[in-house]
Each structure stands twice: as C-alpha cells, then as structure tokens.
Amino acid sequence: MTQPKFKIKKGDEVIVLTGKDKGSKGEVLQVITDKSRVLVKGVNVVTKHSKATQISAGGIEKVERSIHVSNVALADPKSGKPTRVGYKTLKDGKKVRVALKSGETVE
C-alpha cells in the first residue's frame, strides 16, 4: 500500500484544531507518514518519568507526543488563521503550495 501524501511539511507553522491544545500554534518538528501523525513543538506535552542510567540522570521530563495530522491546519502566512493547502504551478513550471484562504505561496 502506498503511503499518503501530506500537505503539511516539516518546519511549517500549524494551528491545532481539536483536543486539549486547541488553538495553540507551533512548528512541525517531524512528520510520521506511516502513522499519519505530526510532532508539533510545544503541543501535546506530557510528563515522562525516566529511570537513571549510566549515561543520563533519571527524573521527570516534559516531552512532546505526536498528534494526528487531521487535527492540525496550516497557519495562513498573511493572517495567521487556519487554512487549507492547495497546489499551483508557476509559469516557470515549478509546483508550489498555496494557502487557499489568502492565495499566498507557502515556503
């Protein structure tokens, strides 16, 4: 089975649409295509208890967990509000992502 293609990429600014972190913004740190999930900086932060090892000291640390890609939307570069993503081919033949709310290209 082929893996799905996501319109959200690593480094994008996204807004969380549902869940306990609804409305919060963050940068995509990682896209997990086989599980359809994204890791967003500062979103879905949980407390993890780790045991001490020879390499690291144990203790309580805060780590981000992944959330489903359907629960996030790209932040519009112009207004900062959530938007859908489309594709447009430029005159030089280059295919770019476009924010459908404002029509701005997304880098």
Average pLDDT over every residue of 67-73: 96
- Residue 106, strand partner residues: 97
Res 3: pLDDT: 72
The answer on pLDDT for 59 being more than 90 is: yes
- Residue 101, strand partner residues: none
Nearest to 45 by CA among 35, 58, 60: 60
The answer on pLDDT for 100 being more than 90 is: yes
Average pLDDT over every residue of 72-77: 95
Average pLDDT over every residue of 44-53: 95
CATH number of 13-80: 2.30.30.30
Q: pTM for the full model?
A: 0.84
Average pLDDT over every residue of 68-76: 95
